[in-house]
Structure 1
Amino acid sequence: MSEMIIEPIEKYGLTITSDSKKKPLFSRIGVVGAGKEGRNIINMTATAGMEVVFLEESQERIDVVIKEIEKVMDHKIKNWGLTQAEKRIIMNRITPTLQYEDFAGCDMVIECTRFTEGGRRSTPLRKSIFKRLEEILDTDAIIATNGSVVIISELASELVHKDRCVSLYFPVAHPDARILEIVSGMYTSEEVYSKMEVFAKLINYKPHRINESNGNVSMRIMVNMLNEACQILLERVCSLEDIEETYTIIYGQRYGIFRMADIIGIERLVTLMEAMFNEFGEKHYKPNPILWKLYRSNQLGIRTGKGFYIYDENGNPVSVNKAVIN
């Protein structure tokens, strides 16, 4: 009988360093803030096999986050074939914390502070988070933010190791929208970008390289279509339902453009579009009066139960919001 040949497999692991004994890259990541976007990142990374530590401001918030993540898991059990055993394994990879110190040893921490009621995120707060993370993380750990505006260079500007900072944006949180926009700032190193390409592939997303531009690519395209759809509706060229069918059937989209706006959030879109208008000075980025009407009346989409559509308690559309065009 011939002798069995045993070949070490470490060199095939997802490691960046030459030392094969070091842990695989992205085996442990952190998330600061677990709002809707933060929970989505926690869910997808834990499902991909990563250990995830997330930080929230109170135990009450942590309890809410865990409940919401479990709700998503239960939906997958009911509709996608996830098993109870798989749910337990995934949930066991998720660790909540109230202390920044628990991010020590993470390969990457993603800042996901929640939006205010007006659709804004505080830049000074996010800069302070970046500074706090730099005090705790190893020098080769990545500090990332989740967003679609031009701020990563600003957030990194006061750090010692600016080259490790990068911005990520997941355009739409549904299973088929598997593109990750990776934004390189003025300081972002090529090595960090290469690592983010690995991260995207680990979570089964396709990486798109983005040079800093307010709105990235996905949002710049989306808001132009939304503004034009709103103008068509305002001029009463056709009904909201017909505009939606034109968008979904002719152009093969999963959701109509107005439904997409409700998913993203009217407050976020209006804020982003104003920022893009101020940045570029182009009129086509200025929010349409219909968007302002919804924004000022706090009809912001799924989150508030009313936007272009009216939603039930589970976030399912039940009817068109007739007040939009009255």
Structure 2
Amino acid sequence: MKIIAVIGAGTMGNGIAHTLAQRGFTVKLIDVSEKALDKGMTTIFANLDRMVFKGTITEEDKFKTLNNIITYTDIEDGVVGVDLVIEAASENIDLKLKIFRKLNEICSHNTIFASNTSSISITQIGNVVAHPERVIGLHFMNPVPLMPLVEVIRGKKTSDKVTKIIMTLSEKIGKNPVEVNDAPGFVANRILMPMINEAIETLHNKVAGVYEIDTVMKLGMGHPMGPLQLADFIGLDVCLAILNVMNEGFKNPKYTPCPLLVNMVNNGRLGVKSGEGFYDYSESKKAEKVSKQFI
């Protein structure tokens, strides 16, 4: 396996492309938006610069990584000659199924299909393509270049051979793959999202404030980041989408999203990506933090 296509140049897509390219794979990064591709490549460049500054990689390593990435706005051009396609589009079942139906039409039957989904059924995705045994989940953690875990999700028809190939690939790119079976939320989000939702419920019920809730979980439970801050970094819209999938899949009220989360997403407060969530990430707030360093 030498050539890999990544569909989606957003946070997860550009992180996956960066990680693969840094390990010597040729990566075809695909997005229908030229603007999204430019933004994705700018992010990769900045992250590589940060690694050079820290001494993690050399300047030569940086340019080798960048040269391993080719960008495309046309999916048909982008998937020509690839061994593996990793879909990293938004956590939306209709969009994902549309992409995989398209891939089924234009890729050879030997191409392995992987979805970087946080919660959506791999079995359901496999049902829309010929040879569903080649469809697998590849759930990276954010930020992809730094986080060591990847969940490898087997659909009901995923073959042993494809699972082994993807487990080996994950190890080659420096990740620790954990094989799990297909179920809403898999392992990571099945455990994480109810905790985040409960933290939001605790805030909603005025038991404590944002800072206080996060401090209890950091200092009392040893978490590196409080659940509300973590939700901001994941994206509140993503958290809501995952909870909705689990709520629908399990038919259990414990997965019902807190009304406060729903209202925040509806009002465009999505966390870091929008500049405001449970915390303020606006440019004015950043400037205030910088100015305080010199006072």
The TM-score normalised by the length of structure 2 is: 0.88
Whose relative contact order is higher, 1 or 2, with alpha carbons under 8 Å and at least 6 apart?
Answer: 2
- Alpha-carbon distance in 2 for matches of 1:189, 1:63: 36
Give the number of the structure whose residues are more often helix, by fraction. Answer: 2
- Supply the RMSD in Å over aligned alpha carbons: 2.4
Matches within 5 A, 1:96-107: 96-99=71-74, 100-107=76-83
Q: Report the more deviating stretch, 287-296 or 130-139.
A: 130-139
Deviation at 1:174, TM superposition (A): 6.0
Match of 1:163 among 123, 133, 150: 133
Deviations 1:98-151 (A, max 9, x none): 3323423222111122x3xxxx5252x433432333344443321111102233
Match of 2:212 among 232, 238, 242: 242
- Alpha-carbon distance in 2 for matches of 1:309, 1:159: 42
Q: Report the more deviating stretch, 136-145 or 180-189.
A: 136-145
Deviation at 1:92, TM superposition (A): 0.5
Provide the residue aligned with 2:179 in structure 1: 209
Paired residue total: 288
- Alpha-carbon distance in 2 for matches of 1:258, 1:36: 19
Provide the residue aligned with 1:83 in structure 2: 58
- Partner amino acid, structure 2, of 1:281: K
1:35 aligns with 2:6: no
Deviation at 1:307, TM superposition (A): 0.3
- Alpha-carbon distance in 2 for matches of 1:194, 1:72: 30
> CA 1:74 to 1:289, structure 2 compared with 1: closer, same or farther past 3 Å?
same
1:48 aligns with 2:23: yes
Deviations 1:57-85 (A, max 9, x none): 14343323222221222222233543322
- Stretches of structure 2 lacking an aligned partner (at least 5 in a row): 290-295
- Alpha-carbon distance in 2 for matches of 1:32, 1:286: 30
Equivalent position SS for 2:196: helix
Provide the residue aligned with 1:307 in structure 2: 277
Deviation at 1:314, TM superposition (A): 11
Deviations 1:231-251 (A, max 9, x none): 332333333222212222232
> CA 1:89 to 1:313, structure 2 compared with 1: closer, same or farther past 3 Å?
farther
- Stretches of structure 1 lacking an aligned partner (at least 5 in a row): 1-24, 320-326
The TM-score normalised by the length of structure 1 is: 0.81
Equivalent position SS for 2:4: strand
- Alpha-carbon distance in 1 for matches of 2:247, 2:273: 25
- Partner amino acid, structure 1, of 2:82: C
Provide the residue aligned with 2:292 in structure 1: none
Deviation at 1:266, TM superposition (A): 0.7
> CA 1:315 to 1:48, structure 2 compared with 1: closer, same or farther past 3 Å?
farther
1:251 aligns with 2:221: yes
> CA 1:60 to 1:257, structure 2 compared with 1: closer, same or farther past 3 Å?
closer
Higher radius of gyration, 1 or 2: 1
2:93–2:120 CA contact under 8 A, matched in 1: no
- Alpha-carbon distance in 2 for matches of 1:71, 1:294: 30
Provide the residue aligned with 2:235 in structure 1: 265
- Alpha-carbon distance in 1 for matches of 2:155, 2:262: 31
